[in-house]
Structures are given as structure tokens and as C-alpha cells.
Chains A and B, each alone.
Chain A
């Protein structure tokens, strides 16, 4: 699905991703965890084409995407749920979702978009209730669901989520992560970026630990949860007798 080899990326002269290699297989949830400033978002932005690699290679579905335009990467099946939701506040919930279906409509017609819209309402019943409401008036959790629904409207092959838990109450975080789990059940592939390491590794198949632009650990999510370094750094769990 996604294969990254020796990727360097950054801003201007500043190189923030240093020799990153990672992969995502179809049907997996892969969690990328790391503290603030670990360059997690930069990684997602490089995958989707907002930032260009300085060195190394990103392959999505076997195609190198180093110089592909963002819209073409999205059209080929890669969707991003951005950090902080970024819903279109002055538009209604349904309008937001339909915007997400823009590519689908172009390729497969209105009927498919409406089918997909229905699917999102099934996945997020609250959005159906709020369909005519302005997106800006939704709660944080509802906005997160809307952002996810909007991304899913394009029927992506890979969904990348940037910090879906930010600023949400713990109960809502649990809901959101349950929905991500359900997405995998429906055959979706998810690359999840999170500071909330425990929640992310709790649902992921595999994980990578990013620290100042480098992958310092990777492996099955269960192994990372059991890793003492991860526990100390990200789970706040230091038990010394």
C-alpha cells in the first residue's frame, strides 16, 4: 500500500525527517507515535504531496509520488484527516461531506456519492442528525467525525489521520478510536498519527516511534506497548520499586 524508503523532508534548508523508512500493508492500522515536534505531521504532508521529499522515496500503490500533484495523489486513493479537524465552518455538515465526495462524483457520478453519503451517516449517526447544522457549531468530537467522514467520502484506499484525539474528552477519544477500529473491519487501511500512544497502540497492528525526525523503534503494537522505553517516554508509566 504505502512504502517509504530513506525519506528526508523538511522546510527550506531545515531537514526535519531524517532517513525515514516505513510501510503500511493493506488492511492494517499503523500507528506513528511521538511527542510534539517529532515531525509526525511533516511525514503525512510528505506522503500526500504537500511537502516534497528532499531525498528518498515514497511509493503509494507501487507508484513513486515524489513529484505527483497533491490532487492526483488524493485521486489515486490517499486521504488525509487533518489535525484540528479543519472542517468548513460556515458550511453545513452535509455540504462538508459532499465536498469530500468531489472526486467520487467526477469519476463515478452523483448516485455513488449519495450512496457513500448514506454510508457515512450509518457510520456516524450523529452527523445525520446534524446534517443541516453548520459545521462550525458542532462539538469537537462531532467535528472530528465530520472530518473523518469527509475523508472517507472519496473511498480512499489509505486513510491518514493526524492526531484525531487532540482536544477531545477521553470518552469521545474512545468513540473515535472504536470507529477507526471499525474502519479496519470494513477493509480500510489506516495510518494514524498520535501523541496519545496508549490509545493508538491499543487499536493498531503495528507501530513506529518517531523521535526528532528519526524512527527509533518499530514493531507489533503489542510489543511497543510492552517496551519499557515507550512506557517511560509516552505512556507515563515508570514503575520502579
Chain B
């Protein structure tokens, strides 16, 4: 199922021509309309005529989150405020919020790209979609909302929070598609259990998840507990919001809307491209944004390109689900550790819950990681010996996965803080 087959399945050669045309005019526009870029380009003595291929983009400097903060609120807008029809703000996951704007055309484009993502996930106009992303300044709720409406899906704009009401409405309104963070879907599943509701009795068929990294094991668990096809979609407010990329029903990576975004995967340290297919930091340039174009934005999200074609027929390149943030990357005793690796191990160990926290401390000048894991009650009731066995098993698996030793502590079910939005997994107590 495609939303815009002539685009989503376009020949690579035509796509590259389109990307180049759009890149050239975008750069010219940002260089003449946005003082921040004009200054940067002038310093570089950058000549627009030097952009003769997509690779020439690498001549340009990066845009950092801090640049957005420095230009708070409207400094990076490329159009006057009177042409702006919507303002959003980043979710402020880390630090001060940043502001982005949209023209009427931007909203149109955005809705269209989200419609592609929703359609790829299997949702049609016959579905009832419950959007449990926060509405408001955060782009998640409105982004999905407009795309779903464009398709003609029946939209329930319930927004985030109030878990019991979510479930009530899901039941009463016969919701077929759920939009939220993956971790929240598990909270919903657990709460259903508590309320004595069998998820299989619901009409739910699709789950469109985004907003935080998650693992394949977590997808399996969501599938088991809720019986839905769980797909991932990706976006960030700095480049638009949701709609940058999304998985099709093959669930094997996210198709990038490459006709609107140019993506690079770079080594977070050297900032050079990684070999095709290897993990690096995602850097995004917008190709069609009018109000808030952005050049080489460092997302800090870690992913890799999947070069192989997808059986669904889309020609747009795929990226793997975001595997963490390059600034969440913990360097422990010189080893790069990603929280997602720890999650993967925990999912494989029997008797543990998918709720965990990673605490990093520095003791006697040495880094120490402690992983707090919730375990099922059944294990706690048993003898100490069995508990110790579980700890040992997790420790060994983690050590072989990460390459560094970690401490593991078991905690009772539901003692770790639950989040209705993005789960906070890492607590870094080091004073570096």
C-alpha cells in the first residue's frame, strides 16, 4: 500500500535529480534569507555554484542544537513571521526548548509525508486511530493527526496520559490503530491486565510507535501482549516532526522520505561518512521546508542505512530504527556502550521485565555501571540462591555483549519510575 506511489517508488536516478534541484535552491534560499547561514556561508567563502552533486553538501558546516538555542525563538526562520501559520517547539528532552515554524505549504507537505508513513504501516481510511502522543508544542500529536486526517482515518485526538481512560476509549471507540511511544504501549498493556481487560478482545490491529529508541525484542513483546503489528516511525521537530521516515509492514527498517530530506550517517567523532551500512550519527538537511529549512542538522541519533532494497517495492532508502543517541552513548572504561544493547540483553533473559535503569557512577576514578532491573514477583518469592543466579546470568550476558563488566541489581516490579512519554533510562552521576 502506497500513499504516493509515483514518489515512493520513483527511480533512483530521478530521485537524485530531484534532490539536487531541491538542494541547490534550498541552499540559495537559506544563504540569502537566514542571517545565520549567510554569515556561515560568507565565512567559508562558499559559492553556491560549487554544489554540483549531492556529495558537495559535505562542504557545508553542521547546524547544532545549540545554534537553534542561540537563535531562540525566530532567528533561523527563512520567512517573515506573517507567513508562518504554525509554531512548534522541541520536546526539550535535553535542555532548553527550541522553536520551529511552518508555512501553509509546510503543513501541507508535512501532512502528506505523515500520510505516507501511516499508509506504509498498514493504516487506511477505514481505521480508527487513537493518537496518544502529546498535543501542543510537541510535534508528535499534531504531526500524526494531520497525516491521519489527510488519509481519511477516523482520528481520536486523545493526547498523552490518563492510561485508564486511554484503555476505556480504545475499548468503546473500537480503536484499530494506536499512536504512542513504544514504552507507553507496554504500560497500556500492563494496565489492561490490571483492569482485567484482554487485549485480544479489542479491535486494535496496528501500533505506530516513535519518539524513543526501542529494540526488536521490545517489538516482539508488544506484539505478544497487544497482538498488533508494531511499526516504527521517526522524525524530530528540528527538521519537521514525525514523517521523516517510517517502517512498512515488512518491519525491516524505516523508509526515508528522501525526496524531502537528505540524510547522512557520519562517524560521531570524525564527522566523516561511515562505510555504507555501518552505524553512525544521523545528519539531516531539509529539501522542501519553507519556514524552517535546516542544513546538516546533527540529530545525535544513531542509526545505519540499510542499502538492500525492500520487498515492499519502495525505492526510498531505509534506515535502521534509531539505536540510541550519540550523546547517550556512554563511554565506560573507554568502551562505547549504548543503552539499547543493555535493553536487548534484558529482553532475552527470562523472568525480567522490560523496565530498567542504567546508573553510571565514578568510584575511585573508575567508571561503574549498575543496571537496575525489574523482575517478576515469582522470582522474588523464591530463595536468595535463585535470585543470585538471575543476577549472574544477566551480568555474564551483559559483559559479553558490552565488552565491559557491569553491576546488576534486581528490584521489585513497578519500583522504577514509569514515564508516559519518553522513558528515562540512563542516570549519569559522574561529575566529569
The verdict on A110 contacting chain B, using a C-beta distance below 8 Å, is no
Contacting pair B79 A216 (CB below 8 A): no
Q: Does B178 touch A at the CB level, under 8 Å? A: no
Q: Determine the distance from Cα of A219 to Cα of B259 in the docked complex, in whole angstroms.
A: 11
Task: Determine the distance from Cα of A229 to Cα of B32 in the docked complex, in whole angstroms.
Answer: 13
Which residues of B sit under 8 angstroms from A21, Cβ to Cβ? 17, 20-21, 24
Whether, in the assembled complex, A228 has its beta carbon less than 8 Å from a beta carbon of chain B, the answer is yes
| CA distance in complex: A216, B21 (Å) | 10
**Does A113 have its Cβ within 8 Å of any Cβ on chain B?**
no
Q: By the criterion CB–CB under 8 Å, are B25 and A8 in contact?
A: no
Q: A19-B51, A218-B22, A226-B104 are in contact. Are A5 and B79 (CB under 8 A)?
A: no
Identify 26 residue pairs between A and B in the complex whose beta-carbon atoms are under 8 Å apart, listed by A's number: A5-B17, A5-B52, A6-B52, A19-B24, A19-B48, A19-B49, A19-B51, A21-B17, A21-B20, A21-B24, A23-B14, A23-B18, A23-B21, A215-B24, A215-B25, A216-B28, A216-B29, A217-B29, A218-B21, A218-B22, A226-B105, A226-B108, A227-B105, A227-B290, A228-B82, A229-B79
Closest Cβ of chain A to B371, distance in Å, is 50
Q: How far is the CA of A240 from the CA of B244 in the complex (A)?
A: 33
> A196 CA to B5 CA in the complex, in Å?
32
Please state if A240 and B29 are interface contacts (CB–CB under 8 Å).
Answer: no
**Quick one: which of A18, A56, A215 contacts B21, CB cutoff 8 A?**
A215
Residue B175 is within 8 A (CB to CB) of chain A in the complex: no
Q: Give chain A nearest CB distance to B228 CB in angstroms.
A: 35
User: Quick check: is A214 within 8 A (CB to CB) of the other chain?
Assistant: yes
Q: Which residue of B lies closest to A219 (CB)?
A: B288
A228 to B106, CA, bound (A): 12
Most buried by A among B28, B79, B104, B288: B28
Chain A interface residue count, Cβ-Cβ cutoff 8 angstroms:
23
Smallest Cβ distance from A55 to chain B, in angstroms? 9
Q: Check: B103 CB closer than 8 A to any chain A CB.
A: yes
Q: Does A52 contact B (CB under 8 A)?
A: no
Contacts of A240 in B (CB 8 A): 82
* Closest-CB distance, B329 to chain A (whole angstroms): 38
| Partner of B48 from A22, A214, A228 at Cβ < 8 Å | A214
When A6-B52, A19-B24, A21-B24 are in contact, do A228 and B103 touch as well, CB less than 8 Å? Answer: yes
* A56–B288 CA distance with the chains assembled, in angstroms: 24
Which chain A positions have C-beta within 8 A of B48?
Answer: 18-19, 214
- How far is B21's CA from A150's CA once the two chains are assembled, in angstroms? 32
- Encoded as 1 (CB less than 8 Å from any A CB) or 0, chain B from 164 to 192 comes to 00000000000000000000000000000
Nearest CB of B to A212, in Å: 11
Q: Which of A203-239 contact B (CB under 8 A)?
A: 214-219, 223, 226-229
What string of 1s and 0s marks CB contacts (under 8 Å) between B66-109 and chain A? 00000000000001101100000000000000000001110011
B102-128 near A? 1/0 per residue, CB < 8 Å: 011100110000000000000000000
**B residues lining the A interface (CB < 8 Å):** 14, 17-18, 20-22, 24-25, 28-29, 32, 48-49, 51-52, 79-80, 82-83, 103-105, 108-109, 288, 290
Closest to B24 in A: A21
| Interface presence of A198 (CB below 8 A) | no
Interface residue A130 (Cβ < 8 Å from any Cβ of B): no
Q: CB distance B29 to A18 under 8 Å?
A: no
Interface centre among A56, A216, A218, A228 (most CB of B within 10 A): A228
Which residues from chain B contact A227 at a C-beta distance below 8 Å? 103, 105, 290
Quick one: which of B18, B32, B80, B105 contacts A223, CB cutoff 8 A?
B105
Complex-state Cα separation, A218 to B82, whole angstroms:
21
Please name all residues of chain B whose beta carbon is closer than 8 Å to the beta carbon of A8 when the two chains form the complex.
Answer: 49
Report the bound CA distance from A170 to B49 in whole Å: 38
Q: Which residues from A are CB-within-8-Å of B25?
A: 215-218
Given A6-B52, A217-B25, A218-B21, 16 more pairs with CB closer than 8 A: A3-B17, A5-B52, A18-B48, A21-B17, A21-B20, A25-B14, A215-B21, A216-B29, A217-B29, A219-B105, A223-B108, A223-B109, A226-B104, A226-B108, A228-B80, A229-B79
Q: If the complex has contacts A215-B24, A216-B29, A217-B25, are A19 and B17 also in contact, measured as CB distance less than 8 A? A: no
Q: List A contacts of B24 (CB < 8 A).
A: 19, 21, 215
Q: How far is the CA of A27 from the CA of B376 in the complex (A)?
A: 64
Q: In the bound complex, what is the Cα–Cα distance between A219 and B21 (angstroms)?
A: 10
Name B49's closest neighbour in chain A (CB-CB).
A19
Cα separation A56 to B20 with both chains bound (whole Å)? 13
- In this complex, what residue of B is CB-closest to A19? B49
Closest to A217 in B: B25
A228 to B, closest residue via Cβ: B83
